[in-house]
Amino acid sequence: MTISSLRSPLMGTVVAIKAVEGDVVPAGAELVVIESMKMEHPVIAEFSCRISAIRIGVGQTVQEGEVLLDCVSEEMSQEKVSSQTNSVQERSDLAKLHKRQQLLNDEARGEAIAKRHAKGQRTARENIADLIDENSLVEYGGFGVAAQRGRRSEEDLIANTPADGLITGLATVNKNSFADNRTQVAVVAYDYTVLAGTQGFINHRKKDRIFEIARRNMNPVVLFAEGGGGRPGDTDAPGVAGLDVMSFASFAQLSGLVPLVGIASGYCFAGNAALLGCCDVVIATENANIGMAGPAMIEGGGLGVVKPTDIGPIATQVANGVVDIRVANEAEAVAVAKKYLSYFQGSTTTFDRINDDVLRELIPEQRTRVYDVRSVINSLADTNSVLELRADFGIGIVTALVRIEGKPVGIIANNPAHLGGAIDSPSADKMARFIQLCDAFDLPIVSLCDTPGFMVGPQAEESAQVRHFSRLFVTAASVTVPWVTVVLRKGYGLGAQAMAGGSFHAKDSIVAWPTGEFGGMGLEGAVRLGFKKELDAMPSAAERDELEKRLIAGAYERGSALSMASHTEIDNVIDPANTRAHILGVFAACPTPQPRTGKKRPMVDTW
Three-state SS sequence of 139-190? EECCCCCCCCCCCCCHHHHHHHCHHHHEEEEEEECCCCCCCCHHHEEEEEEE
Find out whether 256 and 289 touch, Cβ atoms under 8 Å: no
Residues 192 and 230 grouped into a single domain = yes
What separation in angstroms does the CA of 208 have from each of 188, 249, 253, 277? 11, 9, 11, 17
CATH of the domain at 283: 3.90.226.10
**Strand, coil or helix: 196:** helix
Has residue 597 been placed in a domain?
no
Other CB atoms within a 10 A radius of the CB of residue 520 amount to 14
Q: Which of 65, 88, 111 is the last residue of a domain?
A: 88
Q: Which of 88, 116, 151 is the last residue of a domain?
A: 88
Residues 554 and 569 grouped into a single domain = no
Q: 150 Cβ partners below 8 Å, 6+ apart?
A: 235, 236
Residues 112 and 61 grouped into a single domain = no
Residues 508 and 425 grouped into a single domain = yes
Residues 9 and 150 grouped into a single domain = no
Q: What are the beta bridge partners of residue 184? A: 172
pLDDT for 341: 97
What separation in angstroms does the CA of 369 have from each of 416, 419, 449, 577? 10, 13, 16, 21
Residues 294 and 402 grouped into a single domain = no
What span, in angstroms and rounded, lies between the C-alpha atoms of 393 and 284?
Answer: 15
Q: 376 Cβ partners below 8 Å, 6+ apart?
A: 359, 362, 363, 413, 448, 488
Q: Which of 290, 314, 342 is the last residue of a domain?
A: 342
Has residue 604 been placed in a domain?
no
Other CB atoms within a 10 A radius of the CB of residue 431 amount to 27
Has residue 347 been placed in a domain?
no
Has residue 603 been placed in a domain?
no
Residues 242 and 315 grouped into a single domain = yes
DSSP 338-397: HHHHHTTS---S------GGGGGGSS-SSTT----HHHHHHHHSPTT--EEESTTSSTTE
DSSP symbol at 305: -
CATH of the domain at 71: 2.40.50.100
What span, in angstroms and rounded, lies between the C-alpha atoms of 498 and 504?
Answer: 9
What separation in angstroms does the CA of 229 have from each of 160, 203, 204, 555? 19, 12, 11, 60
Q: 502 Cβ partners below 8 Å, 6+ apart?
A: 472, 473, 476, 477
Q: Is the pTM of this model over 0.85?
A: yes
φ, ψ at 8 (rounded to 5°): -75, 135
Has residue 554 been placed in a domain?
yes
Q: Average pLDDT by consecutive 10-residue portion of the chain (607 residues)?
A: 85 94 90 94 91 94 94 72 58 89 90 93 96 95 92 92 96 87 92 93 94 96 94 83 86 97 96 96 97 86 89 96 97 98 94 95 91 97 97 97 97 95 95 98 97 87 90 97 97 95 96 92 66 79 79 77 94 97 97 89 94
Tell me which amino acid residue 566 is.
S
Has residue 567 been placed in a domain?
yes
What separation in angstroms does the CA of 584 have from each of 251, 361, 445, 562? 35, 21, 11, 23
Has residue 136 been placed in a domain?
yes
Residues 295 and 305 grouped into a single domain = yes
Closest CA to 252 of 528, 1, 604: 604
**Domain count within the chain:** 4
pLDDT for 462: 87
Residues 411 and 533 grouped into a single domain = no
pLDDT for 63: 95
pLDDT for 77: 58
**Chain center to CA of 355:** 32
Residues 566 and 552 grouped into a single domain = no
Has residue 600 been placed in a domain?
no
Range of the domain at 548: 523-559
What span, in angstroms and rounded, lies between the C-alpha atoms of 509 and 54?
Answer: 90
Q: 181 Cβ partners below 8 Å, 6+ apart?
A: none
Find out whether 488 and 448 touch, Cβ atoms under 8 Å: yes
Residues 406 and 478 grouped into a single domain = yes
Residues 551 and 565 grouped into a single domain = no
What span, in angstroms and rounded, lies between the C-alpha atoms of 353 and 373?
Answer: 17
pLDDT for 400: 98
